[in-house]
Amino acid sequence: MFNKGDFIVYGNKGICKVNDVTTLAMDGIDKNRLYYVLLPSDKKQSIVYVPVDSTKTVMREVMTKDEADHLISDIPSIEEIWVDNDKAREAKYKECLSSCESREWVRIIKTLYTRKQDRIREGKKVTATDERYFKMAEDYLYSELSLALSIPKDEIEGYIQSHIE
């Protein structure tokens, strides 16, 4: 169970702060069921209510500094995702994002970076789908690394590059 003040990774909301753990006084809701009151870090006006016992969406603790450094050192060996079919590839990206696993986010970023370079070399534009999933994976990963490493989010890319070269 998470506690008030904890930061967690929650489904497609990314990093959230546990603002409270409480019951809800709303019609049609079990008055004895505990809920997390989550504040997504990137959407300041948004509030998410999640049953403490919910298994529908992945919730996990934010990685530690040691885990973040280990992940960064592993980046060169993390394999890319190669799926030829466009629809199957997008489904795989969705699966990786919803897993809430930072290694899966790295796989998406590496794959889409390589695809982007290949397409540019071939004189093609980057697809909107690729760009969207790249930005989402990058945002999730950089937000978590920023919190774990106590580094501003806009400095994460440079931090990663300096540690894997």
Categorize the per-residue pLDDT at 44 as very low, low, confident or very high, splitting at 50, 70 and 90: confident
| Residue 134, C-beta contacts closer than 8 angstroms, at least 6 positions apart | 108, 109, 112, 113, 116
Question: 101: burial class by Cβ within 10 Å (0-12, 13-18, 19+)?
Answer: middle
Q: What is the pLDDT of residues 54-97, one digit of tens each?
A: 888 889 999 999 999 999 999 999 999 989 888 999 999 999 99
**What stretches of 54-138 adopt beta strand conformation (E)?**
59-61
pLDDT at 11 over 90: no
pLDDT at 117 over 90: yes
Q: What is the pLDDT of residues 123-148, one digit of tens each?
A: 999 999 999 999 999 999 999 999 99
Mean pLDDT computed over every residue of the chain: 93
Residue 30 confidence (pLDDT): 85
pLDDT at 32 over 80: yes
Q: Read off the pTM.
A: 0.89
What the block records as the tokens of 132 is: 């969207």
pLDDT at 165 over 80: no
| Residue 52 to residue 21: CA distance in whole angstroms | 8
Residue 118 confidence (pLDDT): 94
